[in-house]
Structure formats: C-alpha cells, structure tokens
Structure 1
Amino acid sequence: MPDWDDLKVFLAVARAESLSGAGRGLKCDAATVGRRVARLEEALGAKLFLRSAQGYALTDAGTRLLPHAERAEQALSAAAEELGGAAGALSGQLRIGAPDGCANYLLPQVCAELCDANPGLEIQIVALPRVFNLSKREADMAIAVSPPAAGRLTVQKLTDYHLHLAAHHDYLARHAPIRCRADLRGHRMIGYIPDMIFDKELDYLAETGAETVALASNSVSVQMQAVRAGAGLGIVHDFAIPFAPGVVRVLPADIALRRSFWLIRHADDRRSDRLTRLAEALGQGLRREVARLEAQV
C-alpha cells in the first residue's frame, strides 16, 4: 500500500517535471524527493518516471497512477474541509494564476479583502503573461481573458471590462492634436510584442489602424508605464487608468474595446466546497473592483 506522503511527492514531480521543482514546492531538497520517488517505485514494483536531460516524464505506469493519486489528494482535502468546519472562515493556501493586468491592478485589493475576512487564508498571486496549466497544478484556479477550448476544466465568466486608447497629458502636449483615427498616423504606438501575444483577445493593434508597434512589451504593466512616461499611445485597461495620474483616454467614442475575465478551475475541484466558496468570493470581489475603478475614469 503506497504511503500518502510518497504519493504527494509523486504528484509534485509529475506536475513540476523535475526533482528540484517538486522540492521547491514541498520545501525539501531534490535528493530527498528522488529517494521518495525511488521508494514509491520499489513499493509498487513499477517505474513511474522516465528520466532525461529534459526532466521527468511519466511512464505508462505513472500515467495510470496519476488519477488515483489525484483522487486521494482530493479526498484528503475534502476531509480536512469537513473536519475544519467548511461553513466557517476560509483558511489554508490559495494560489491564483492571472494575466499581469488583472494581477497588478485588481487582485491585490480583492485579495486583501479576502484575507481581512478570513485571517487564516494565505493567498499567492502568480502573475504571468500566458495561459496556466491547471492539470500540473501551477495554480488552484486561474483567471483568463478567453475560455479554454479543451481540458477537464470548469469555466465561469467573471465580468466584462473595458479598454481604450490612452496617452499621458505630456505626450499629447508635445504632439499634433488627435481628433480622428487619421490623426494617429505618425504617432508612436505602444503595445504587445506581436509574436508573444498568447491569446487572440489581446491582439489590439487592428483597433487603432496602426501597422506596427514602436515600443512593445509582453507585459500590460510595462506598457502602461511606457504610456505613463509619455512614450506614446497604447490600448490600456480602464481599470488601470486610476493608477496612472496624467493618463487620459484618446478618441474614447471611436476606439473602445470590451473583453471578459473567465475563472478556470480543474473539473475535479467542483467537489471542493472550500474552493467553490473561494471562487464565489473572488468573482464577487473582482466584479466590484472593476466597477469601482472604471467609474473613476
């Protein structure tokens, strides 16, 4: 009979695809992780991983073990929730993956409220300009700008948000006035690095009529800081404008975008009352914060 601690190590290696990555999550060294994996393989009489220079990949036996280990993990989590009193305050660790615009301008306030209401809750915000892999448990839940097309996931629309072309007062004062789209020709555009756009919903360039981006970044926050520095014009989130004094919308009636945030969870997590309650609280908080910040623009 496999030991649960060894199964936990197995899951960590399967998700991190390396001993060192698993060790960081488990707060132990890679050598210890390797010994635990070897012990589990010996107990089961099967090789669970193929080791190579690229990392650790599951064998057929490891692939068959994975869903059983995940069910054991979910059962223990559910038991802890029930014994801890799921109807009370929320506690434990929650890791949220989100695009950096949401992570920088919305989640800090929303998560602060959640922590105030639930003192035993520990929240980790992972801000990355890409799609998260929930199957590898990179996060407990993820926020995305479009719903995924595949995978064993549950998807919930959280809220719409709005974006506009914007610039700093200083930039506008130094350049010719912009009264219509045609006036944008010759202005410096700020936006995404074209080949690093990870979701079609982030491809804003066509909205401005510009053919190239003169100053580009894969980070929404870097783009906003460039706009704030007076470096040019960029499509920015309305909810980010209150954090950038001097930045104003340009041609707001002509260039206006609406996008949505979606909450994505692993399908098996639907059985977790704790994660469901956290998802509901997170969604309510994000809706309130988007509305509050957009009202200031």
Structure 2
Amino acid sequence: MNWAALNFDWNQARAFLVTAETGSFSAAARALNMTQPTLGRQVAGLEEALDIVLFERIGRRLELTPAGQDMLTHLRAMGEGAMGASLTASRRSEAITGEVCVSVTDIFAVYTMPQLLTELRQILPQIQMKILASNTLSDLQRREADIAVRHVAPTQPDLIARKLRSNPAHLFASRDYLARHGPFRTPDDIARAELIGMSDPDELLFFLKDWGLPVTAKNLTVIGDSGVASWEFARQGLGVMPMTRDVAAFFPEMEIVLPDLPPIDVPYWLTVHRELHSAKRIRLVYDYLAEVLQRKKLPGPT
C-alpha cells in the first residue's frame, strides 16, 4: 500500500462527510459540536489538500460536485470503518467506569427516569449517566446514544432489541376542559373535541382513526414536538390528548375520556448496538433497565 497517498487529515474528511450527509455546514457543525467557521475551514482544507472542489452553492443549498460525489463514496466506507473500530474498542473495554448515554422520549425522561436514576446511582455510582431526552429516534449505529428506550422496534440489523412491556393508553382531558366541552359519551362525540398531539399530524390522525375515532385535521388544534409541553397544554384545559396510564397517574386532575373505549397498548422497546451489548458498563445499565421495565408497575407516584 502506498501510505504516502494518505495525505489528508481525517478530521477534515469527517467534516466533509458529515456536511455531505446533513446537507449544510450549520447542521454538520451542530452534529460535530463545533462552530460553523471551523467546520468550513476544515472542508476548505480538504479541498486544498486534494486540489479539488467538493461543494458548490446553488442558492442557499450545497450541492456536491462530481468530484465530491466520488469522494463521498470512499469516505462513507472510511466512516463506517472508523465507527466499527470505535464500537469494537467499546466492546473490548471491561471498565465499569465512564459514561453511558441513554436515549428516551422527553415524557419518559421527566416522569419515569428520575426514579430509575435514583436507584441506578445507588447500584452503579461509578457510572456517569447521560440522558438524551428527544422524541427523535437516536441513531445507535452512529453512537448518538448507547441505549435507547422507545415505543417502536428498530429495523437496523446490527441492533439488539427487546420488547419488555406494554402500557395501556387512553384519551385524557382535564376536569376543566370536560366541564366546558363535555360530556363525551361515545367515540362519535370526539368529532367535536379539540385534540392535542406530540407527533406528526398525519401519523396522529392515522393512530386515532385506527382507534375508531372519527377525527379530521380540523380537530388537531395544537401539535408540538415536545411531549411534556403538549401534556401541559392538555393539563391547562386546551384539549384532549392520548397518554399512557402510568404517566397520567401523576396527575389526578386528568380524567380518562371515553373510559369504555378499549385502551391502546403502547410497547416499550429496549435497544442497544450488538457490539456495545458486550461492553461491561453498558451491559450493566442495559440489564438494569431491562429488569425495571419488566416490572408489573413502573416507578411513579405513590
């Protein structure tokens, strides 16, 4: 192999790769936790080192040049190799100190995770827990998190997933909202309700219609990307919202709407990368979460 041909900096190559994948310097800078000017200088440095132009601006968009397209193919392979090396190193590590990042929804982070962390800190005080509270699915293959607790099963073949439980979900509303807009005695009555969601509007409508509720886009009065904020809107009397029974139990002022409507079961999936499953500190946290989430009752209000 001609080692002298490796005449560019991997940091510059990574800057180019992430920019190409995300589509903009600003998004790449956020992903790499650096300033946009620094990232721009790294991409420019790679262009200078290789004596080629990788991007051209078309309006506000970045477009790969033909040379950039060719480089992207090779650097994707390099990126996957670097990621594999990182995962293998994590797997080989037998240390039980260090950080473990767990990705959960913001609802889970606020209402369930505090009790879990209290117990976990007593069992594994030497491990630093990082909680990624996001309703966007974290990419475990790219090490955005080590472990994820989600309501959907992963599709990537390199991930290990276990379905640990299902929690019943109902429609809930505040007593104040029901006093002003109720009663809702049958599913047909929901056609006049104001609905609050925390996901894509089309996905929420599909979910509610599949539940047998005659709703349309006109019913969706508030949609947010934060489950905690949307639930607070419902608590403040702005409308009706689906929620799992374990979370709603924290709030006695929230009542089930249509109690005779069969609940929807919301699954809890625990996911980890196949390689990281063997890293001792990650395995310990994974096993703890698996044990707790399989309990009949999740930690919550007494």
Q: TM-score, normalised by structure 1?
A: 0.71
Match status 1:249 vs 2:256 = yes
- Give me the whole-angstrom Cα distance separating, in 1, the residues matched to 2:52 and 2:138: 28
Question: In the TM superposition, what whole-angstrom CA distance separates every residue of 1:151-186 from its partner, at most 9, and x where no partner exists?
Answer: 7544332431210122323334456555x4268357
CA contact (8 A) 2:161 2:270 kept: yes
Question: In the TM superposition, what whole-angstrom CA distance separates every residue of 1:42-80 from its partner, at most 9, and x where no partner exists?
Answer: 66x486953544347662322222233333344245436
Give the C-alpha shift of residue 238 in structure 1: 0.9
1:210 to 214, 219, 222: 214
Give the C-alpha shift of residue 247 in structure 1: 1.1
| Counterpart residue identity of residue 71, structure 1 | G
- Give me the whole-angstrom Cα distance separating, in 1, the residues matched to 2:158 and 2:167: 26
Query: 1:112-123 to 2 correspondence within 5 Å?
Result: 113-114=119-120, 117-123=124-130
The residue that corresponds to 1:156 in the other structure is 162
The count of aligned residue pairs is 287
Which stretch shows the higher mean deviation, 100-109 or 267-276? 267-276
The residue that corresponds to 2:237 in the other structure is 230
1:144 to 147, 150, 164: 150
- Give me the whole-angstrom Cα distance separating, in 1, the residues matched to 2:106 and 2:268: 12
CA contact (8 A) 1:48 1:60 kept: no
- Give me the whole-angstrom Cα distance separating, in 1, the residues matched to 2:84 and 2:279: 8
- Give me the whole-angstrom Cα distance separating, in 2, the residues matched to 1:267 and 1:56: 35
Give the match's secondary structure for 1:59: helix
CA contact (8 A) 2:168 2:245 kept: yes
Question: In the TM superposition, what whole-angstrom CA distance separates every residue of 1:122-168 from its partner, at most 9, and x where no partner exists?
Answer: 4142323x444556655445443222456754433243121012232
- Give me the whole-angstrom Cα distance separating, in 1, the residues matched to 2:196 and 2:239: 10
CA contact (8 A) 1:189 1:210 kept: no
The residue that corresponds to 2:3 in the other structure is none
Give the match's secondary structure for 2:299: helix
CA contact (8 A) 2:165 2:268 kept: yes
- Give me the whole-angstrom Cα distance separating, in 1, the residues matched to 2:157 and 2:90: 27
The residue that corresponds to 1:64 in the other structure is 74
Distance 1:111 1:228, change over 3 A: same
- Give me the whole-angstrom Cα distance separating, in 2, the residues matched to 1:279 and 1:257: 26
Aligned residues: CA RMSD: 4.1
Identity of counterpart residues, as a percentage? 25
- Give me the whole-angstrom Cα distance separating, in 2, the residues matched to 1:290 and 1:250: 22
CA contact (8 A) 2:234 2:240 kept: yes
- Give me the whole-angstrom Cα distance separating, in 1, the residues matched to 2:23 and 2:142: 9
- Give me the whole-angstrom Cα distance separating, in 1, the residues matched to 2:289 and 2:164: 9
The residue that corresponds to 2:89 in the other structure is 79
Q: TM-score, normalised by structure 2?
A: 0.70
Q: Flag structure 2 segments of 5+ consecutive residues without an equivalent.
A: 1-5
Q: Flag structure 1 segments of 5+ consecutive residues without an equivalent.
A: none
| Counterpart residue identity of residue 292, structure 1 | P
Give the C-alpha shift of residue 203 in structure 1: 1.3
